[in-house]
């Protein structure tokens, strides 16, 4: 039997990741335990994935129940959990039609292909330009990483897909200057995650919607990270009172089970004709059964109100830490997707603070070199949040003392 340790990763895995030395083996709620039995409070949530924490009993039950019935069919057939989940997503959103995939990147790939296909069918080959935002992130396929506004992720792989351009996020004037009759779609995140946890400014999404309408361009909203209750609404664009033409959702949708979906309208969906796109595992019965249970819990008004309440706990706790140690220049975000921008004297050192947190029993994320990111379970208890913030404060105190002594 192979000894399973962190060292084994370096022996048998491709080196595109550099995981922490900690190797978690069990989770319950917002707590994790490693191989040595050490406990951690999880403020990372698998990068906004574990929306109901670890091993939620209702999700375990849904998986076990479906696991005794049907695992996989392929899309030669449909299945009951997929149809039920699609109907529930349509009922809860702006959409009329749903396409299932396995991840956010695949959902975004489908969205971009659908937008191009729609434009070709309705306007011709010249209407092909896709405009996205600088610092955006839309996945790691070659198309999505090109549309994403972080060149470091797309460089070094040869020629990129063409007719893709970028403008600054939250800059309507820049978009107005770029968009034209040749624009097929505008794609953006209502709340940038990987780009530094930056919310859309008041009026921005409404302005983007208006510009798209004026140029008959589709509005694609990437809600892979901001969706499924993360901001206190089922989807973040609901705060602005606008609807997209296409929306992508994943991460929290499966509560930890891999699933992605693209949502769109009856006006756009017919362009995804039989044979134009597909996924072997998309609409998998196991994934859809779990996601259906996740959605049924999170879409409830009282649950979403709880997310907004928990945002207050985190903001209050982080502001209190900052009042004592002055490590953050700004705390921003929405709901339970929050970012703490490092103070100028600590610029570029967010990962050091992440590592210090792990040493003190709390897991966080970064969003670039300057932002400590928080994406905990949406149902995290007040006691778990309090304990995690106490551990984070101890980490901050030790880290600041070491930094000041250096």
Q: What is the pLDDT of residue 328?
A: 97
Q: Is 185 within the bounds of a domain?
A: yes
Q: What is the pLDDT of residue 406?
A: 63
Contacts of 193 (CB under 8 A, 6+ apart): 48, 137, 225, 226, 337, 367, 373
For residue 162, is it left (φ>0), alpha (ψ between -120 and 50) or beta? beta
Q: Kind and range of the H or E element at 184?
A: strand 183-188
- Give how far the C-alpha of residue 319 lies from the chain's centroid of Cα atoms, to the nearest Å: 25
Q: What is the pLDDT of residue 278?
A: 92
- Give how far the C-alpha of residue 301 lies from the chain's centroid of Cα atoms, to the nearest Å: 21
- The CA distance from 287 to 71, in Å, is 9
- Which amino acids are annotated catalytic? 137, 222, 251
Domain of 313 in residue numbering reads as 6-55+301-405
Task: Please answer whether residues 294 and 259 qualify as being in contact, where contact means their C-beta atoms are separated by less than 8 angstroms.
Answer: no
- Condensed to tens digits (0 to 9), the pLDDT of residues 326-355 reads 999 999 999 999 999 999 999 999 999 999
Q: What is the pLDDT of residue 112?
A: 98
Please give the span between the terminal C-alpha atoms of the chain, in angstroms, as a whole number.
Answer: 44
Q: Is 72 within the bounds of a domain?
A: yes
Q: Is 1 within the bounds of a domain?
A: no
Q: What is the pLDDT of residue 402?
A: 84
- Nearest 5°: CA angle at 220, between 214 and 223? 140
Which residues of the chain register pLDDT less than 50?
A: none
DSSP class of residue 54 equals: B
Last residue of a domain, one of 298, 332, 361: 298
Which CATH number do you get for residue 371?
3.90.1150.10
DSSP per-residue string spanning 131-168: EEETT----SSHHHHHHSS-GGGTTTSSSPPSSEEEE-
- The CA distance from 374 to 238, in Å, is 22
Domain co-membership, 89 together with 41: no
Domain co-membership, 107 together with 205: yes
Long-range CB contacts (within 8 A, 24+) of 200-204: 200/169, 200/170, 200/240, 201/170, 203/172, 204/170, 204/172, 204/240
**Domains: count for the chain:** 2
Pick from 389, 355, 351: which is nearest to 370 by CA?
Answer: 351
Domain co-membership, 78 together with 167: yes
Domain co-membership, 132 together with 251: yes
Pick from 149, 155, 188: which is nearest to 368 by CA?
Answer: 149
- Condensed to tens digits (0 to 9), the pLDDT of residues 241-268 reads 999 999 999 999 999 999 999 999 999 9
Which CATH number do you get for residue 245?
3.40.640.10
Domain co-membership, 222 together with 316: no
Contacts of 316 (CB under 8 A, 6+ apart): none
Last residue of a domain, one of 282, 298, 314: 298
Domain co-membership, 256 together with 322: no
């Amino acid at each position: 039997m192979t000894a399973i340790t962190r060292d084994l990763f370096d022996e048998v895995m491709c080196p595109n990741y550099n995981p922490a030395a900690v190797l978690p083996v069990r989770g319950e709620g917002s707590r994790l335990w490693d191989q040595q039995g050490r406990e951690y409070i999880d403020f990372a949530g698998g990068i906004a994935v574990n929306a109901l924490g670890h091993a939620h009993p209702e999700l375990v039950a849904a998986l076990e129940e479906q696991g005794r019935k049907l695992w996989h069919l392929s899309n030669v057939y449909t299945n009951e959990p997929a149809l039920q989940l699609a109907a529930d997503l349509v009922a809860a959103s702006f959409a009329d039609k749903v396409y299932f995939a396995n991840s956010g990147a695949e959902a975004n790939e489908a969205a971009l292909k659908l937008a191009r296909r729609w434009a070709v069918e309705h306007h011709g080959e010249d209407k092909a330009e896709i405009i996205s935002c600088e610092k955006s992130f839309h996945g790691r396929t070659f198309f999505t990483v090109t549309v994403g506004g972080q060149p470091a992720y797309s460089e070094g792989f040869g020629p990129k897909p063409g007719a893709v351009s970028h403008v600054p996020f939250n800059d309507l004037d820049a978009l107005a200057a770029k968009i034209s009759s040749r624009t097929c779609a505008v794609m953006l995140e209502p709340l940038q995650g990987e780009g530094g946890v930056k919310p859309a400014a008041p009026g921005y999404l409404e302005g983007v919607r208006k510009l798209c309408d004026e140029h008959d361009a589709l509005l694609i909203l990437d809600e892979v990270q901001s969706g499924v209750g993360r901001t206190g609404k089922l989807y973040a664009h609901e705060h602005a009172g606008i609807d997209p033409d296409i929306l992508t959702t994943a991460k929290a949708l499966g509560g930890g089970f891999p699933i992605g979906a693209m949502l769109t309208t009856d006006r756009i969906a017919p362009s995804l004709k039989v044979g134009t796109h597909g996924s072997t595992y998309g609409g998998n019965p196991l994934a859809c059964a779990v996601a259906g249970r996740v959605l049924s819990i999170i879409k409830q008004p009282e649950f979403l109100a709880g997310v907004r309440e928990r945002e207050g706990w985190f903001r209050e706790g982080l502001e209190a830490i900052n009042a004592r140690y002055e490590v953050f220049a700004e705390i921003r975000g929405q709901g339970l997707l929050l970012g703490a921008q490092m103070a100028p004297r600590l610029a570029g050192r967010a990962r050091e603070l992440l590592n210090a947190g792990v040493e003190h029993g709390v897991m966080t994320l970064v969003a670039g070199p300057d932002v400590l990111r928080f994406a905990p379970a949406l149902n995290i208890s007040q006691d778990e949040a309090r304990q995690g913030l106490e551990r984070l404060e101890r980490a901050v105190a030790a880290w600041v003392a070491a930094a000041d002594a250096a």
